Structure 1
Amino acid sequence: MKHIKVLGSGCANCKAVAKLITTVATEKGIAIELEKVEEMREIMRFGILSTPGVVVDDKVVHSGGIPSRSNVEQWLMA
């Protein structure tokens, strides 16, 4: 199971990223545990300066903007 954190204030882009990740995981049949992190201290712990950020299995894979669908697929398949 992949452990994924979406880091951000809860803005529209943050919600879109969480939805995209959930959609791709469901379509690919990949089990994920998705956590939304909105606490600024926790976000800063990962060194994210531009949100939304995405952390997969404790590794920062994205920050700033909405990632492409192909990027999400790569994160989930790795």
Structure 2
Amino acid sequence: MNSLDIKVLGPGCANCNNLEKLVFDVLAELNADANVSKVTDYKEIVSYGVMSTPALVIDGEVKFSGVVPSKAKMTEIITGELAKRR
């Protein structure tokens, strides 16, 4: 199974850092493999159509922007993406 490609979009604000930590926490709990990267370049962020950060992109698809979701919601999102690969 190939791993998810997850991008955390944001300039490095507290919420962006919180989102990145949340992604790693949920992946660890699920024992899931993913390539996680942080995108801080505004032009690249806007190229995803994102106007408010932080935002989360999984496999090229924007999952949400402008919020840090609850841990339960993040787990649901990542679990759903993993299920698509099985």
* TM-score, normalised relative to structure 2: 0.86
Gaps of 5+ in 1: none
Secondary structure of residue in 2 paired with 1:30? coil
Contact 1:56 1:75 in 2 (8 A): no
Secondary structure of residue in 2 paired with 1:50? coil
Q: Which amino acid aligns with 1:35?
A: S
1:58 matched residue in structure 2: 60
CA distance in 2, matches of 1:23, 1:39: 24
Q: Which amino acid aligns with 2:15?
A: N
2:10 matched residue in structure 1: 8
Which protein shows a greater Rg?
A: 2
CA distance in 1, matches of 2:75, 2:68: 14
CA distance in 1, matches of 2:5, 2:63: 12
Query: What percentage of aligned pairs have identical amino acids?
Result: 37
Superposed structure 1 runs of 4+ greater than 4 Å apart: none
Q: Report deviation, 1:67.
A: 1.1
Aligned residues: 78
